[in-house]
């Protein structure tokens, strides 16, 4: 019998992507879709690209609606997941695509999000390596609660983790600059997200360490390094619907060679389906990962500046959110880790 | 055993989309990919979004390379398919995504394309209805040669065919205006296709009946109507990678009511998976069909002008080319018509 | 002494474009800018591209604020202009960029806008020709009230008027399909105007004669023809910030030749600075008019269909709104008609 | 009498922008436009947005064509300017928008461009401050040879120079990541510049210190600092026609406060028309500078990481190339420095 799933937040962009992927997952049956302002409308109205689900009716998001499923996906604004999760039994797999359970540090939570810290769940970034050989994957098998990483952290942490895990990088003066498509900012009506404002324009936001993904990036890289890592992170908004391009750079430890650097990254991702270091000479474009669960990256050692520069691309809605959620479900339930996840992007 | 297929023209946009769909088709094995200038390179280099096929090497396009397959897809510039097709046995299913075998009229061919007319193959638009009840689908079952429709004709013909098949429309003063994403113009280097020229701009081309798809639209509508239909067709280039929005309008015959019009369209597509008349009040956007094999349309009767206006959206590379090719393969080989074809689009 | 002007609606897109043009007009001093929700903010905050005006503070829109100017520009939602205009003396030049005073027919107003009909002012489309030789320009010299045309009608009416003025076209089965950039829909927050929805997508709206610009196009073409003209008009939304591409087509009267057609258009616009028929073989792109006050067009006679097809491009915010307003001011006040109006577009 | 100017490279994007600005300059007469492949065509064909210059005919680029002008602008591929400049008398003002005369270090030239080093001309970045109080402006007054800065260096150098000039920043671990619109890559036909490749996608290029603008950024910042500065620079390609968003970050020297940082930037640009530090809380968007000669920037001190982060926007074709060239002409000839330069951008 198929796995019965519910998706809360079905009318947002993350919810829509979850439904796109789940509708193609061979082992899954989408039993319930829930929303807030979209309740009582059909998916055909709110997600008109989900042709095969067009007649499903959106339910209210409530504890009642979400009962009776094997898996519940929460794609809600931060702060909304904890109370819903409490109503779901420990045997139910709850996968939170929001921020509530990502940060282990209550003080970071308080500083960046405010309000009470709900705690931390296993972190849904299976490929993340660590000094000593552990991977996050090990913590996801059999889990019944999973926090899906933020889209920026997915790209930034995977970009630099191999160097930290291998002890090649200095833990200070790490700089990350990312450009994201507009869907990363969600579907709420905000003046700076109007098409006329975004098309043909780039702009920064949350500069100077203020973006909420900063402590999450530091947490991921610190876990990889086994010591605290400090990051300067600047996110920018790019005139495209989807995709993140992250440029991440760190100082090499004294004496580290370009060969050692390349070898560390190659080794870290050699066996991974969804994370690939490109052959030398090729550079990643976000168009190569749109709609897919892949992270592509390339690196260069800047001998002059003594730094490694890694550029990584990811679809913020797929591997950056919904694809990671499905991948985590596969791992937690013991399915093939790649089941239901697109092997190709959509280009051009 | 899986169906062994070859794709010629693997480095173009149509070829890339064919490979994307075929790589997800449960009954297909991609045995050979062939190209011209890309020969000897890997697909990872020329189609970097096809992650699971990244290591395949592009072969030269030649009669030898294309031997020994159950199905050969040709995605080549017009004029190149006929000679290759002749080298393939009658038991091989040959599906031509180019123009060579679309037009039945040798004089239209001569006027719009020039050179000798190669002939006409069964036309790969299964949903096309006709006065009397026939559909093109009937001609595709068991076929071993199929001509895939042009992307504009797919949208324009499906948009108006129900009205012509039902005898509701005048065969003159039909006007079609379409906007297409840039991938419709192919991957060749042309100054007007540079990103800086296209982004933020719209422009027409082939105005005044000169576009090669004009006689093909007329052929399709005439087939539906059972009498000659004359069309004024204007294609325009829109600043997006994929998608066609077609506005098609025709004069209603004397006395035809709005109710009759809606009923004709509803009936024509009631049983179709890939062609849908939207509920009243909803309008189609190309973003709802990107990456999917669907055509969405809506119509309105303009009482003032005595005309019906139909707007239809299609992904020029999927239902407009590669999806139609796979659908035709499914029909020709007796598979489920929808096999391997995405049920959802990719949005936003 | 310079002309003292006020601009109401300064925080919208039309208001911003008015201020951009007026800040470069050698004879004008911008004395007052007024807004609604933006009142008390600086222009630097709400129109950050107007560097030289960054410190101006937006005033409340009220009769008091607008007193004491030589010229008052109103860029307000329809329905708001009439009551404000009444408070301004007859010696003040009032230029309404909204719809309130465009339509001469009270019944059209009632059907398309609803509410009481405020009346009709001289129509700010100076280049519009008429059978017999008159132009709208004649009605604008010395005027103290001017209605600025809608952006779609500017393109559609100028596209076909020469043929109607010369008696070459049938007044029925006229079809107009336009694609507009998102700024044409204004700066209000609407779900379908979010960047993620618009980028990479085209969609229709107001199909079947329902768009408010339909009667205005018919009014303009009927004025040119000297007899009632009926139009099927379909507007679509394109993924770009600015610009309109209009495809307009009409049936030729019996016996009209291609040469007569071309001659009529050439003659109509031979002496015009801002409206140009391109040399044969060249096609207009919206990128050629962005930021300029120009309309570029090209035509083709489709012998097969017996129709003329005209494609015209215009910047919806410049010639389509704010540029036309400044041009009308120049004419009304006896200045050089081109004063303060950009002679070039901004490309790429 | 007006200044007689010639523009070589008139059919490229930089040439087109030069002509746009010069056609609006009150003291300038455009006497000659020269090109290579576009010779003998009209500007109307190759730069269709320059309506007032549409009938000018492009001449061959040669020493003869360029004789007899007061000012000659060269917008040519690097390597082409030196030999042409030699044929022009010392009384002629020659402004090179290319790279040939930007770098003072022959070894940097050799490493990044190859071939013989032509030398260095006064650097056309008037606002660039230096420790001790000097500005580049001082070197441009009365000059007869000027090298226009690269577009990336303009943004990056102006972004960080105030901190270096004031001695607040460490000269190592400076990181610059920039996103540029596609026009920055020029008008030559290259596969990765096709619209279908660029739209909806971001990609890096020249990673790891390899981009030719790296030594130029270091040169500018070193001049400001009075000591060698080392920079890690990563340029990326964004899906928009124009504009650069640069994120530049450097480590603060021990004990430097946020107040000192802000004061240094404010003071550096207090009297500048074209370079503005935005009020606190406002962030720059490239759409605010498109078509204008302005650089807008904002900064934040990241206390956690001990770094300053500056984001700056510039139009790569205006202040980044053609506007800087006109500004340099104004300074060299003793005109008002802002003459002919747009005071507003074009938005949305």
Summarize pLDDT for D110-129 with one digit per residue, the tens: 999 998 999 999 999 999 99
The closest CB to that of C230, out of B247, B286, B304, belongs to B304
Local confidence band at D1 (pLDDT 50, 70, 90 cut-offs):
confident
Give the chain B residue nearest C309 (alpha carbons): B208
The closest CB to that of B240, out of C202, C236, C309, belongs to C202
- Using DSSP, state whether C240 is helix, strand or coil: coil
Q: What angle do CA B196, B200, B201 make, to 5 degrees?
A: 90
Average pLDDT, chain B: 96
One domain for residues A100 and A164: no
- Catalytic residue, candidates B72, B88, B146, B151: B151
Percent of chain D with pLDDT over 70: 100
The predicted pLDDT at position A100 comes to: 96
Residue A134 region, left (φ>0) first, then alpha (ψ -120 to 50), else beta?
A: beta
One domain for residues C190 and C307: yes
pLDDT at D310 > cutoff 90: yes
- Residue with structure tokens 């919206």? C286
Mean pLDDT of B232-250: 98
Local confidence band at C209 (pLDDT 50, 70, 90 cut-offs):
confident
The predicted pLDDT at position D248 comes to: 98
Give partners of D (≥3 CB pairs < 8 A): A, B, C
pLDDT at A209 > cutoff 90: no
C241 neighbourhood in chain A, CB within 8 Å: 195-196, 199-200
C342 neighbourhood in chain D, CB within 8 Å: 24
Local confidence band at B297 (pLDDT 50, 70, 90 cut-offs):
very high
Tens digits of residue pLDDT in A52-84: 999 999 999 999 999 999 999 999 998 999 999
CB pair distance less than 8 Å for C309 and B208:
yes
Report d(CA C181, CA C317) in Å as an integer.
10
pLDDT at B209 > cutoff 80: no
One domain for residues D32 and D97: yes
The predicted pLDDT at position D271 comes to: 95
One domain for residues C68 and C181: no
One domain for residues A14 and A156: no
CB pair distance less than 8 Å for C195 and A239:
yes
Q: Which of A12, A22, A46, A51 should we substitute to test contact with B (largest number of B Cβ atoms within 10 Å)?
A: A51
For C134-164, the DSSP string reads -BTHHHHTT-SEEEPPPHHHHHHHHHHHHHH
The predicted pLDDT at position A207 comes to: 80
Mean pLDDT of C245-269: 98
Tens digits of residue pLDDT in B312-345: 999 999 999 999 999 999 999 999 999 999 989 9
The reply to whether C67 falls in a domain is: yes
The reply to whether A227 falls in a domain is: yes
Nearest in space to C72 (alpha carbons), one of C4, C140, C147, C19 = C4
For B284-298, the DSSP string reads --GGGTTTSS-EEEE
The closest CB to that of B208, out of C172, C241, C300, belongs to C300
CB pair distance less than 8 Å for A245 and D199:
no
Give the chain C residue nearest B205 (alpha carbons): C283
The reply to whether C214 falls in a domain is: yes
Beta partners for residue A246, in sequence order = A178, A312
Provide the 10 A C-beta neighbour count for residue A270.
Answer: 10
Q: Which of C182, C221, C300, C305 should we substitute to test contact with B (largest number of B Cβ atoms within 10 Å)?
A: C305
One domain for residues B249 and B118: no
CB pair distance less than 8 Å for D196 and B239:
no
The predicted pLDDT at position D17 comes to: 98
The predicted pLDDT at position C299 comes to: 97
The closest CB to that of D302, out of A209, A238, A307, belongs to A209
One domain for residues B249 and B304: yes
Local confidence band at C100 (pLDDT 50, 70, 90 cut-offs):
very high
pLDDT at D208 > cutoff 80: no
Strands C295-302 and D307-314, how do they pair?
A: unpaired
* Length of chain C (residues): 348
For B276, phi then psi, to 5°, come to: -135, 130
The structural domain count of chain B equals 2
A231 neighbourhood in chain D, CB within 8 Å: 305
pLDDT at D309 > cutoff 80: yes
Task: Give the residue, A1 or D288, on which the prediction is more confident.
Answer: D288
The predicted pLDDT at position A36 comes to: 92
Q: Which of A218-222, B7-11, B76-80 has the lowest mean pLDDT?
A: B76-80
The reply to whether A348 falls in a domain is: no
Binding-site residues on chain D for chain C (CB distance < 8 A): 13, 16, 20, 23-24, 44-45, 47-53, 182-183, 199-200, 241-242, 276, 279, 282, 284-285, 287-292, 294, 296, 342-348
Tens digits of residue pLDDT in A102-123: 999 999 999 999 989 999 999 9
The reply to whether A343 falls in a domain is: no
| Residue A222 structure tokens | 């610190």
Tens digits of residue pLDDT in B76-93: 998 999 999 999 999 999
* Length of chain D (residues): 348
Q: Which of C48, C320, C323 should we substitute to test contact with D (largest number of D Cβ atoms within 10 Å)?
A: C48
The reply to whether D342 falls in a domain is: no
One domain for residues B222 and B254: yes
The predicted pLDDT at position D72 comes to: 98
The predicted pLDDT at position A1 comes to: 87
The closest CB to that of D348, out of C50, C53, C241, belongs to C241
pLDDT at D246 > cutoff 80: yes
Q: H or E element: which one contains B92?
A: none
One domain for residues C324 and C302: no
Tens digits of residue pLDDT in C126-160: 999 999 999 999 999 999 999 999 999 999 999 99
pLDDT at A304 > cutoff 90: no
CB pair distance less than 8 Å for A207 and D301:
no
Dihedral over Cα of C282, C284, C285, C288: its sign = positive
The predicted pLDDT at position A172 comes to: 95
DSSP 8-state secondary structure symbol assigned to residue D183: G
The predicted pLDDT at position B129 comes to: 97
The CATH number of whichever domain residue A88 belongs to comes to 3.40.50.720
Report d(CA D336, CA D159) in Å as an integer.
25
The reply to whether A62 falls in a domain is: yes
The CATH number of whichever domain residue A202 belongs to comes to 3.30.360.10
Q: Return the active site residues of A.
A: 151
The predicted pLDDT at position B1 comes to: 87
One domain for residues D143 and D123: yes
pTM here is 0.97
Local confidence band at D256 (pLDDT 50, 70, 90 cut-offs):
very high
Give the chain B residue nearest A317 (alpha carbons): B348
CB pair distance less than 8 Å for C201 and B300:
no
Report d(CA B347, CA B291) in Å as an integer.
9
Q: What angle do CA A134, A139, A143 make, to 5 degrees?
A: 170
Give partners of B (≥3 CB pairs < 8 A): A, C, D
Report d(CA B115, CA C36) in Å as an integer.
65
pLDDT at D209 > cutoff 80: no
One domain for residues C112 and C250: no
Q: Return the active site residues of D.
A: 151
The reply to whether B346 falls in a domain is: no
Domain span holding position A169: 152-314
CB pair distance less than 8 Å for D195 and B193:
yes
Tens digits of residue pLDDT in B53-112: 999 999 999 999 999 999 999 999 989 999 999 999 999 999 999 999 999 999 999 999
pLDDT at C304 > cutoff 90: no
Q: Which of A201-210, B264-273, C5-14 has the lowest mean pLDDT?
A: A201-210
The closest CB to that of A309, out of D207, D283, D307, belongs to D207
Tens digits of residue pLDDT in D64-87: 999 999 999 999 998 999 999 999
Local confidence band at B306 (pLDDT 50, 70, 90 cut-offs):
very high
D195 neighbourhood in chain B, CB within 8 Å: 182, 193-195, 197-199, 239, 241
One domain for residues D66 and D123: yes
Tens digits of residue pLDDT in B262-291: 999 999 999 999 999 999 989 999 999 999
Q: Are D61 and D28 in contact (CB under 8 A)?
A: no
Question: Where do the H-state alpha helices sit in chain A?
Answer: 13-23, 43-46, 63-66, 81-86, 106-112, 137-140, 151-165, 195-198, 213-225, 258-269, 323-333
């Amino acid at each position: 019998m198929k796995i019965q799933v519910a998706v809360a937040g079905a009318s947002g962009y993350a919810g829509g992507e979850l439904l796109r992927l789940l509708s193609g997952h061979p082992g899954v049956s989408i039993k319930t879709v829930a929303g807030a302002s979209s309740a009582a409308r059909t998916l055909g109205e709110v997600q008109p690209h989900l042709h095969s689900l067009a007649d499903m009716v959106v339910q209210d998001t409530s504890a009642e609606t979400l009962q009776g499923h094997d898996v519940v996906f929460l794609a809600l604004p931060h702060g909304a997941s904890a109370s819903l999760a409490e109503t779901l039994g420990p045997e139910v797999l709850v996968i939170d695509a929001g921020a509530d359970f990502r940060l282990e540090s209550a003080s970071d939570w308080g500083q960046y999000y405010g309000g009470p810290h709900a705690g931390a769940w296993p972190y849904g970034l299976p490929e993340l390596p660590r000094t000593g050989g552990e991977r996050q994957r090990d913590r996801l098998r059999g889990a019944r609660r999973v926090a899906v990483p933020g889209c920026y952290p997915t790209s930034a942490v995977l970009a630099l983790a191999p160097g930290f895990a291998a002890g090649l990088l200095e833990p200070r003066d790490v700089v990350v600059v990312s450009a994201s498509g507009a869907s990363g900012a969600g579907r709420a009506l905000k003046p700076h997200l109007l098409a006329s404002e975004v098309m043909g324009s780039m702009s920064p936001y949350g500069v100077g360490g203020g973006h909420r993904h900063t402590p999450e990036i530091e947490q991921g890289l610190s876990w990889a390094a086994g010591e605290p890592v400090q990051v300067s992170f600047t996110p920018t908004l790019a005139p495209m619907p989807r995709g993140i391009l992250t440029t991440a750079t760190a100082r090499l430890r004294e004496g580290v060679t370009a060969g050692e650097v390349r070898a560390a990254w190659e080794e870290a991702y050699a066996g991974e389906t969804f994370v690939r270091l490109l052959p030398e000479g090729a550079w990643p474009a976000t168009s190569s990962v749109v709609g897919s669960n892949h992270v592509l990256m390339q690196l260069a050692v800047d001998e002059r500046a003594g730094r490694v520069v890694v550029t990584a691309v990811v679809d913020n809605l797929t591997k950056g959110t919904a694809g990671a959620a499905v991948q985590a479900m596969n791992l937690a339930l013991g399915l093939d880790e790649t089941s239901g996840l697109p092997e190709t992007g959509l280009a051009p």
